[in-house]
Chain A
């Protein structure tokens, strides 16, 4: 099991966001995380990425709290929902993104080749010497994705990756995700159900901080019920 969550609760500023979440995700899965706005998708991703001090999340069999910050960055990586243009060229950006592999006395010899490889994988080689504050939204998204891939993480978390993308870039992203899934476990939080149904191997639905259902593919009826506002249901499923 790559990711194991055992009855996780998250409270943020005295409001309970996630309630008693239990979930295991197998390695090489492409897991879609769906659910209405405010269901707790982003919070769950952040919890898996180690943003909150919690003992209920295990990555590769180890509790997240026992990871060193740099070690964690090499294991799990999160593409945040909001990304900002940065005043660096793509190459500069990718090189310093290798941060956890560097130390004062240890040179990161693989840096250049890994950065080149991830540039090729995401198909943005032409941006190598272009500054990332003058590129398009789609290119910026891929640049950020590449900056995560150079960390060579086992687990890749994507929060609403298609928000700024046109159909051409969504197609591109699907191919990248497919390629990455050969050696990574991927979780994607999104509202783009049609796209998710094409690439995901597994669906996890959240509603008001609970897991509402898990399935292999998207079922129309369950979806309609999921997105209909209703009083909070007590029947939390365990997946």
Chain B
């Protein structure tokens, strides 16, 4: 049954939905408030953040034709972190306000990168502009940490580890519609993404309006990443690793690969978050640490196994 990609995809989707449905029931029962206002929203937040970051990563890997591309490659995450760091520095303690600052910074970085990419005529212009912006904001954050006092500096580091703690449904009302909408639009372009794999010239010959569709996809994924990062922090590794695992198990056809990436990304982050909660109670280990500790060795194992095949 596991011999074809489509069967594996079906199994993966069923497993993800079942896991997400069961997860809130883990742990001892306290009361309805904890169940409905903490556990359910937390699993949902982790699922949609993971799903969104992963599908955005898959799009970036195809558009840049680079296996190392992540949703953060155009500097969106470091800009968001910079926005949050500024907020922490000036003493903002409202979570929503901090997210708004992070989003504003990420949005302006996206627009700057696009303008720079447009001015530059060379093919890698967009990528180079993104990398430059990434370093620029990373250094600004370091500078702020160097100048800040210990508490502020610690808070900035903590923000950059990624945080999926949530109470109530406020954040979810933003994350779920934006991830669902952007993923649906991305999925509509699976033919174009497949054609891009054979090269932009090839896509153009087959009737794809390359410039327009590329720009639209870049902007959409950057926007969606900005929203996710501003709420959950820059959770690393998921967006790079999940698409690869799906490519190795389900195949490269975007029609199936994008669906698998969406569900597996969500499942992976939800499970990581659960593990972070269980491992040293009552502390919650930041999910970014778990994803890399779990994901790194698993990814290497998969690489070795596939090299033998």
Interface residues in chain A, defined as those with a beta carbon under 8 Å from any beta carbon in chain B: 49, 51, 69-74, 77-78, 80, 83-84, 86-88, 92-93, 96-97, 99-100, 102, 104, 147-148, 151
Interface residues in chain B, defined as those with a beta carbon under 8 Å from any beta carbon in chain A: 188, 191-192, 194-195, 197-199, 201-202, 204-209, 247, 251-253
Given contacts A69-B207, A80-B205, A99-B208, contact A92 B253 (CB under 8 A): yes
Cβ of A88 and Cβ of B208 under 8 Å apart?
no
Cβ of B194 and Cβ of A96 under 8 Å apart?
yes
A151: which of B197, B206, B252 is its contact (CB, 8 Å)? B206
Nearest CB on B from A13, distance (A): 9
Cβ of B197 and Cβ of A87 under 8 Å apart?
yes
Cβ of B194 and Cβ of A73 under 8 Å apart?
no
Given contacts A88-B252, A99-B192, contact A73 B197 (CB under 8 A): no
Residues in chain B near residue A77, CB distance under 8 A: 205
Cβ of B253 and Cβ of A102 under 8 Å apart?
no
18 more CB-based (< 8 A) A-B contacts, given A87-B252, A100-B206, A102-B191: A49-B205, A51-B204, A69-B204, A69-B207, A69-B208, A69-B209, A72-B207, A74-B207, A78-B205, A80-B199, A83-B198, A84-B198, A88-B252, A92-B194, A97-B206, A99-B191, A99-B192, A99-B208
Residues in chain A near residue B252, CB distance under 8 A: 87-88
A87 to B202 alpha-carbon distance, docked (Å) = 15
Nearest CB on A from B3, distance (A): 13
**CB-defined A-B contacts under 8 Å, sample of 22:** A51-B204, A69-B204, A69-B207, A73-B207, A77-B205, A80-B205, A84-B198, A84-B199, A87-B247, A87-B252, A88-B197, A88-B253, A96-B191, A96-B253, A97-B195, A97-B206, A99-B192, A99-B206, A99-B207, A104-B188, A151-B206, A151-B207
Cβ of B194 and Cβ of A88 under 8 Å apart?
yes
Q: CB-nearest residue of chain A relative to B121?
A: A13
Residues in chain B near residue A100, CB distance under 8 A: 206-207
Closest 3 CB pairs of A and B: A73-B207, A100-B207, A70-B207
What total of A-B pairs shows CB separation below 8 Å?
56
A38 to B103 alpha-carbon distance, docked (Å) = 50
A194 to B192 alpha-carbon distance, docked (Å) = 39
Q: CB-nearest residue of chain B relative to A81?
A: B201
Cβ of A86 and Cβ of B207 under 8 Å apart?
no
Residue of A93, A99, A104 with highest tally of chain B CB at under 10 A: A99
Q: CB-nearest residue of chain A relative to B210?
A: A69
Cβ of A73 and Cβ of B206 under 8 Å apart?
yes
Nearest CB on A from B51, distance (A): 23
Residues in chain A near residue B205, CB distance under 8 A: 49, 73, 77-78, 80, 148
Nearest CB on B from A51, distance (A): 7
A214 to B194 alpha-carbon distance, docked (Å) = 40
Residues in chain A near residue B251, CB distance under 8 A: 87
Residues in chain A near residue B197, CB distance under 8 A: 86-88
A48 to B35 alpha-carbon distance, docked (Å) = 65
Residues in chain A near residue B209, CB distance under 8 A: 69
Nearest CB on B from A178, distance (A): 23
Nearest CB on A from B62, distance (A): 11
Q: CB-nearest residue of chain A relative to B212?
A: A69
Q: CB-nearest residue of chain B relative to A76?
A: B205
Residue of A83, A92, A96, A147 with highest tally of chain B CB at under 10 A: A96
